A = this chain, B = another copy of it.
């Protein structure tokens, strides 16, 4: 892994998230887990990743509460890696990556996987940005307010 700045205390939530999951492997492991993969060898086969690198990533993801490692559901000696609710919440990141790729990286007839609603088997709707009151927002209608330190409590009298 390229050595880089530690972003784990950044005031920007984008940076802090990327500090944890900002590499291809972690997000591909999480994508596979969201699609039901739970065994070490299954991740390895799906991703073609070296054993040591997969073990490192899974350990890191367990340490950060994104996966939990549990005994296999079939009673065998294997362990399984299950997404926690914190991990499952990453589905929106994965969906956003998917939809951007669908929109910009495929030719019109190129085969690709599809994310569908189980009930109707139709592709899910594109994610959209909305204001708190439900108005649709374009990106230029938003603004990032920089972090401000919380005001100190009033001095004791």
Are B127 and A96 within 8 A (Cβ)? yes
- Counted per complex, copies of this chain come to 2
Give Cα A124–Cα B95 distance, bound, in whole angstroms. 18
Are B31 and A105 within 8 A (Cβ)? no
Are A105 and B24 within 8 A (Cβ)? no
| In the complex, A77 has a CB within 8 A of chain B | no
25 A-B Cβ contacts within 8 A?
A: A5-B47, A11-B113, A12-B113, A13-B100, A13-B106, A14-B28, A14-B101, A15-B28, A16-B106, A17-B105, A18-B27, A22-B23, A35-B144, A89-B103, A89-B104, A90-B100, A111-B147, A111-B150, A116-B144, A117-B143, A118-B143, A122-B132, A124-B142, A125-B134, A127-B128
Are A105 and B13 within 8 A (Cβ)? yes
Are A11 and B96 within 8 A (Cβ)? no
Are B131 and A124 within 8 A (Cβ)? yes
| In the complex, A70 has a CB within 8 A of chain B | no
The 6 closest A-B pairs by CB, nearest first: A13-B101, A17-B101, A111-B147, A22-B24, A117-B131, A17-B97
- Size class of the A contact interface (CB-based, 8 Å): 35 or more
Closest B residue, CB atoms, query A91? B139
| In the complex, A34 has a CB within 8 A of chain B | yes
